[in-house]
Amino acid sequence: MILIIGAGPVGLATALRLHQNKIPFLIVEKRENINIASKASTFLPAVLPYLDEMGVLDGIIDKGIKISNIKYINLDDNAELTLNIHEIKNECSHPYRLHLEQSYLCKEIIKKLTLSSAECIKTGIEFLYYINNKTGITARCRNDKNEIIQINADWIIGTDGINSQVRKSMKLSLKGYDFPNPVLRLFFKDLPEDIKHKLAGVTYFIKTKETLSILQMKNEWRVIIRLENIPKEQLCNTGFQLNYLNGFFDNNIWLSAPTQYDLYWVGQKLVQNNIIQRAMLIGDSAHSTNTRGGMNMNFGIISGILIADSITHFYHGDITESELINSQKMRLIAARELLLKTTESLLTPQTIIDDKRFSNECFRTDFIKKCSLLNS
């Protein structure tokens, strides 16, 4: 049996793949409610075929919006660059981004899993630590009655996020750096027409050294701002938010307050080892990146599905345990060489606009493929 700690999109996708491969599993989740929305709201072209293959894409696609164009605009000199994901339509089956809250995917997977067995997901159970035994691992957990329970499994997979308890139990940590300032995300039901007519599905604005991005969702818009050395209390002030937007765009047309806002901190980090004996790390527990491009969750989902397939081959005797371990280590290499490097390059949209190589079709399509995780 495979024990999965954490019932976010990565853990649930891993579990669904195991279920469809007829490999026994159990998901343990600390929260009682696992349908809580998170920061992630983009599904990239690389992950969509997997969701389609597993029978969950049809259940969520109409709840989101398909996005093909990504636009960069420099407000200082009016330089623009537009990238169209359809340029790689001959190299992928789903040449678009699906903008949709991750909670919809979680709900759809839970529906599929619980149709077969309501016992495969245990909520309200906190994972504490694990120990190795002769055949696998023994996990110690605490239930909602504060009772200690014990779970035996062949393997344990930590998909329990940036503050992973599984990673701590493995005596590992994320290495890299945190950004010193939080990201401010504003939600708007609509935007001023003078702004909206300039936008693509994803638009990055540059002004002097500041950047701002706007994402189109099905029923709202999201404005993402990265500011330095602004007190948290000021960032949370609606008056400051509107004044900043009016100043950034040199107008006074931002009049309606956002329907909601949130602050979150990000970094560029990677675990030094994602597998020790019978314990694995996948998703945010293994890597953390800035939010540009929505790559971190997508990479985690793909990793979970691929590792579920490797576990299946191992159970069927098609590969050795050493080969299974190597397949997991390869995901760490891919995270280092593709995920972190690509997300790092997206931090400076000004250099993307200025890069003359984007006039070259091969360079442009290669960049789109990297940002779509098609080489992952």
Q: What is the 3 state secondary structure string of 21-52?
A: CCCCEEEEECCCCCCCCCCCCEECCCCHHHHH
- Going from the C-alpha of 348 to that of each of 42, 53, 106, the distances in angstroms are 20, 35, 32
Q: Which of 316, 284, 251 is nearest to 6 (CA)?
A: 284
Assess contact for 186 and 217: CB atoms under 8 A: no
pLDDT for the residue numbered 45: 97
Between CA 166 and CA 127 the distance in angstroms is 8
pLDDT digits (tens, 9 = 90+) for 27-63: 999 998 775 555 689 999 999 999 999 999 999 999 9
Between CA 352 and CA 280 the distance in angstroms is 36
pTM exceeds 0.75 for this model: yes
> Residue 304: how many CA atoms within 13 Å on its side-chain side?
38
What single-letter amino acid sits at 112?
K
User: Three-state SS for 119?
Assistant: helix
**Enclosing H/E stretch for 219:** none
pLDDT for the residue numbered 368: 94
Assess contact for 72 and 27: CB atoms under 8 A: no
pLDDT for the residue numbered 105: 96
Q: Where in the chain is the domain with CATH 3.30.9.10?
A: 65-99+180-265+349-376
Assess contact for 24 and 2: CB atoms under 8 A: yes
Computed on alpha carbons and rounded to an integer, the radius of gyration of the chain in Å comes to 21
The arrangement of secondary structure in 65-99+180-265+349-376, i.e. its CATH architecture, is 2-Layer Sandwich (3.30)
Q: Where in the chain is the domain with CATH 3.50.50.60?
A: 2-37+103-178+269-345
Give the pairing of strands 183-188 and 137-142.
unpaired
Q: How many C-beta atoms surround the C-beta of residue 181 within 10 A?
A: 16
Assess contact for 158 and 6: CB atoms under 8 A: yes
User: Three-state SS for 122?
Assistant: strand
CA 315 distance to own-chain centroid: 29
- Print pLDDT tens along the chain (376 aa): 999 999 999 999 999 999 999 999 999 999 987 755 556 899 999 999 999 999 999 999 999 999 999 999 999 999 999 999 999 999 999 999 999 999 999 999 999 998 776 679 999 999 999 999 989 999 999 999 999 999 999 999 999 999 999 999 999 999 999 988 899 999 999 999 999 999 999 999 999 888 999 999 999 999 999 998 999 999 999 999 999 999 999 888 998 999 999 998 889 999 999 999 999 999 999 999 887 777 999 999 999 999 999 999 999 999 999 999 999 999 999 999 988 888 887 767 878 888 899 999 999 999 999 999 998 7
Q: Phi, psi at residue 347, to the nearest 5°?
A: -70, -20
Q: What is the mean pLDDT of the chain?
A: 93
Question: Does the domain formed by 2-37+103-178+269-345 have CATH 1.25.40.10?
Answer: no
Between CA 202 and CA 213 the distance in angstroms is 7
- Going from the C-alpha of 70 to that of each of 40, 47, 242, the distances in angstroms are 17, 18, 25
Between CA 167 and CA 288 the distance in angstroms is 13
Q: Phi, psi at residue 215, to the nearest 5°?
A: -110, 135
pLDDT for the residue numbered 38: 58
pLDDT digits (tens, 9 = 90+) for 102-141: 999 999 999 999 877 667 999 999 999 999 998 999 999 9
